[in-house]
Chain A
Amino acid sequence: MKFGILVNEGPYQHQASDSAYLFVKAALEKGHEVTRVFFYHDGVYNGTSYSVPPLDDRQITKQWSELAKEYDVDLVLCVAACQRRGMMDDGEAERHGKGANNVAEGFRISGLGQLIETGIQSDRLVTFGD
């Protein structure tokens, strides 16, 4: 079965990203497909390469990056939410005259249409938020 996932909250503040990660991991381990994880609102902060949590805490962004690599999961950060919150890939940084790319490995920035497409293409859309 194809699952699409929506994550509405940022890391560490709320359990949403942790719950979503554990759900996605369980789904993949059961042999399901996860077509895309779409990060919206503060959820886009899950994809920052600039977070350096204490080593004795879970490494939320790194966990997502590793999962994406191992299972080829598409991790998409909403562009409008990113622009409001200072998340930039190379293209966005250049377009807005900002210095750096702060999107972590395995994540990409794209439009809200990707969320609708996920709803259309997946068998189930599962939402995690506040």
Chain B
Amino acid sequence: MGDMSEGGTTKKFLYLNRKASYGTVYALESLEVVLIAAAFEQDVSLAFIDDGVYQIIKGQDTKGIGMKNFSPTFNALGDYDINKLYVEKESLDERGLTEDDLMPLVYEDEDDDWAEKPSIKIVNRAEMADLMQDQDVILSF
């Protein structure tokens, strides 16, 4: 269960996102927790499965529904060293989506001369199941 490091325990946290934004508050509040969690220096991964893949789709425009479009905030995750965003291929396929429909989220790799690298990794369902097995804490909202 986690490694002891200077300043406390580091655990593997997985944020499981299965719902689209706007219809309910859960997607927004999950992102809020992820941003707060960055300060705790835990090993954070985000999983997008089922309708959760719609959270990071391109071209969100909320002007007509009177709510704030919070999708640009996903661009900031890289600056907080949150760069493991796993998107399930089967969930994309079922919804008629491809990786090109998703926002091009990136981070700068400090171990590789700050090269810009994609944060999104497309994985299949079996790989997603393996990822879940590897976690200490799984948060769902």
Decide: B140 and A116 in contact? CB cutoff 8 A: no
Q: A120-B11, A120-B40 are in contact. Are A6 and B139 (CB under 8 A)?
A: yes
Judge if A90 is at the interface, Cβ distance under 8 Å: no
Known pairs A120-B40, A129-B141; A115 contacts B8 (CB<8 A) = no
Selected contact of B42 from candidates A41, A81, A116, CB within 8 Å: A116
Nearest residue, chain A, Cβ from B11: A120
In angstroms, Cα B1 to Cα A117, docked, is 15
Once the chains bind, are B26 and A41 in contact (CB under 8 Å)?
Answer: yes
A123 beta carbon closer than 8 Å to chain B: yes
- Whether A125 lies near B139 (C-beta < 8 A) is yes
* 0/1 interface trace, chain B 21-37, chain A, CB 8 Å (1 if under): 00011100100110011
A119 to B34 Cα, complex, angstroms: 13
**Cβ contact of A8, chosen from B8, B136, B141, cutoff 8 A:** B141
B39 in the interface, Cβ–Cβ < 8 Å? yes
Task: Report the separation of the CA atoms of residues A116 and B32 in the bound assembly, to the nearest whole angstrom.
Answer: 12
Q: How far does the Cβ of B20 sit from chain A's closest Cβ, in whole Å?
A: 14
B4 to chain A, nearest CB (A): 11
The answer to the question of A112 belonging to the interface, with a C-beta cut-off of 8 Å to chain B, is: yes
In the complex, are the beta carbons of B25 and A120 less than 8 A apart? no
Contact of B9 among A41, A81, A120 (CB under 8 A): A120
How many whole Å from A115's CB to the nearest CB in chain B? 6
Supply 29 A–B pairs (Cβ within 8 Å), ascending by A: A6-B139, A40-B141, A41-B25, A41-B26, A81-B29, A111-B36, A112-B33, A113-B39, A113-B40, A115-B33, A115-B36, A116-B33, A116-B36, A116-B42, A117-B40, A119-B11, A119-B13, A119-B42, A119-B137, A120-B2, A120-B8, A120-B11, A120-B137, A123-B1, A125-B138, A125-B139, A127-B140, A127-B141, A129-B140
On A, residues with C-beta under 8 Å from B are 6, 8, 40-41, 80-81, 111-113, 115-117, 119-120, 123, 125, 127, 129-130
Write the residues of chain B forming the contact surface with A, with a CB cutoff of 8 angstroms. 1-2, 8-9, 11, 13, 24-26, 29, 32-33, 36-37, 39-40, 42, 136-141
